[in-house]
Amino acid sequence: EAQVTQNPRYLITVTGKKLTVTCSQNMNHEYMSWYRQDPGLGLRQIYYSMNVEVTDKGDVPEGYKVSRKEKRNFPLILESPSPNQTSLYFCASSSRRASSSYEQYFGPGTRLTVT
């Protein structure tokens, strides 16, 4: 089954404690992206990756890091989480081939609370 998986689904942590949210896709997609969803703001792109070892900032990259060492994985790293990073996070992937529909496939989400 084609899917994007995220772990953990729920996480409560304290300010300053480093954490990683994993994202994996099994569709051989070149493009992967992280979003945060906040009430009234919709989804805002944090970082995206066009392919292995190629990443770029989205609209809200401050306080986050990413890496793309393998095509299927795109972890999101919070080196020193703060309460304003409490949010619902989504990972997504899509094909970048010219014949594709550019549709993004979303993971189930990770609800992060930073106290």
DSSP-assigned letters across all residues of 87-110: EEEEEEEE--STTS----EE---E
For another protein, which is the closer residue by CB, 49 or 85? 49
Q: Is 22 in the site for another protein (CB under 8 A)?
A: no
Q: Region of 28 please: left (phi>0), alpha (psi -120 to 50) or beta.
A: left
Task: With CA atoms as reference, report the closest residue to 46 among 28, 62, 31, 30.
Answer: 62
For another protein, which is the closer residue by CB, 14 or 32? 32
Q: Is 90 in the site for another protein (CB under 8 A)?
A: yes
**15, 53, 83, 102: residue in contact with another protein (rule CB under 8 A):** 102
DSSP state at residue 59: S
Q: Which residues bind another protein (CB under 8 A)?
A: 31, 33, 35, 40-45, 48, 50, 56, 58-59, 90, 92, 96, 101-104, 106-109
